[in-house]
Amino acid sequence: MIRYSASCLCGHVKLTISGKPKFPHLCSCSMCRRTSGAPTVAWADFEGSTLEWVGRGRPKYFQSSERTKRGFCPKCGCLICAVDKDRTAISVTLGCLVDPELIVPGKTHSFKSEAPSWWHSSVG
């Protein structure tokens, strides 16, 4: 089984996660854009039971909508993950992976129409 490592910008929050990533995709919704400061965030879902926090810290969560809370490093503010209500999966940002080449977003680009007009992606 493949094991992925990830961390925040400062390294305070670190995690490992295993298993086959589900639904690797891009998202340009207003919440992803605003929480990341980027036009698009790349995500992959994993079964939450395969996640292990291995660093000194744990993410702090912000309830960004009725359905979703987003996990950030309490020290550097880096967006790390998202958890949806009533789901056992956890979404991890691909940019936090130690080796982001390991998971390639699929053909889905959620909320592509909300991306800035100058942003062009070959996905979706």
Break the chain into its structural domains and give their ranges: 3-114
Q: What is the mean pLDDT of residues 2-16?
A: 96
pLDDT, tens digit, for every residue of 54-106? Answer: 989 999 999 999 999 999 999 999 999 999 998 899 999 999 999 999 999 98
For the chain, the average pLDDT equals: 93
Percent of the chain past pLDDT 90, that is, above it, reads 81
Q: Tell me the fold of 3-114.
A: 2.170.150
CA separation, residue 51 to residues 5, 114, 121 (Å): 10, 31, 29
Q: Which residues contact 113 (CB under 8 A, 6 or more apart)?
A: none
Q: Is the pLDDT of residue 124 over 60?
A: no
